[in-house]
Structures are given as structure tokens and as C-alpha cells.
Amino acid sequence: MLKLNKISMWLLIAFGIAVMVLSFAHQQQVQERKATSEELLHIQAVLVKPVVDPTPELRTDLAKAQAELGTAKDKFVDLGQSIAISDGLYQLASSCNLAVVGMQMSTSNKRVDDTNYFVLRVAINLEGKVGNFLTFIDKLGRDYATAEIESVDIVLAESEGEADAANIDINIYTR
């Protein structure tokens, strides 16, 4: 058998460890090359696909959004039409078999989210039957899409021949 001195033995052990480290490093490098090759193939496959120009679709979406914005803006009444709005509320009350006892109008600004609105505030006093008040409120929402009922105060008649009364505070958002 071959006898090795201490230096030769340590050199042999060091050489064995170096071979193992280099083998491990080589194995890691092979795995990294494989992963890089797969990634490169994936990137090449993506690059081969034709690029679709999104401009026509974006233009269509923009046109739709602008049409929706125009429709939404048309729902807002013009603040300068306060007399027409007043007449419209009188006609609406009349169509619901209600009598307008009083009406007060004022303007203010109101901030909703990040937008400031001009608001036409209407306090209307009506007389009639409770069911007709509800019909009035329902029709108001349909006729004035930007109307907001702030409060409703209904006073029931004390006797059979008297009419019920309602005080309704309305905010109508204008442009």
C-alpha cells in the first residue's frame, strides 16, 4: 500500500474538496443556463406575436365616454331657468292633485366629492292627500334627474274636511 506523508495527505484532501466545490459550481451553472434558455425561448415567443395597436379601441371608448358625459350634463338644468323650474313644479303639483301654498327659492354652492355644484334650493309647501305627496316626489325624481329631496315634513289633517299639508325641501343641482 502507498504511504503518504502528512503534506501529501492534506493536499489530497484539499484537492478532493476543490473537485467537489467545482463540481457543485458546475452543476449550478448548468441549471442557470437551462433556466436562462427557457426564459429566452419564452421572451422570443412573446416578441414574435404581433403588436395590436390599441388606438382605434381607445378612440371608441373615448367617444362613448364623451357621449355619456354629454348625456349626464344634459340632465343638469340651467340655473338661469329658475322661473321655468318654478312653473314646472307648479304644474307637477297640479298634475298630482296638490295645491301649492307657498314656494321659496334660493341658490347656494354645494361640494360633492371633488366637484362644486350650484344648487337651486326650493322649499315648497303643498296641500292635498298623503298619497299624492308621494306621487309628487316620485315624479319629481323622474322630471328632475338632479333633484335631491333634503327633507319632507307631512302634517296630517285634524278633521275630515281639511287637507293634509307637506313641506318639502328640494335641492336641484344645476350647471
The dihedral region occupied by 132, where left means phi > 0, alpha psi between -120 and 50, and beta the remainder, is alpha
Cell of 105: 327659492
DSSP 18-30: HHHHHHHHHHHHH
Domains contained in the chain, number: 2
Order across the sheet with 99-112: list the strands. Answer: 99-112, 115-128, 164-174, 147-155
Question: For residues 147 and 170, is the Cβ–Cβ distance under 8 A?
Answer: yes
- Tell me the residue range of the domain where 16 lies: 8-48
Cell of 107: 341658490
The whole-number pLDDT of residue 169 equals: 94
Q: What is the pLDDT of residues 103-145, one digit of tens each?
A: 998 888 878 788 788 888 999 999 999 999 999 999 998 888 8
Q: What is the pLDDT of residues 47-77, one digit of tens each?
A: 777 777 788 888 888 888 887 767 766 666 6
Tell whether 37 and 123 lie within a shared domain.
no
Tell whether 42 and 104 lie within a shared domain.
no
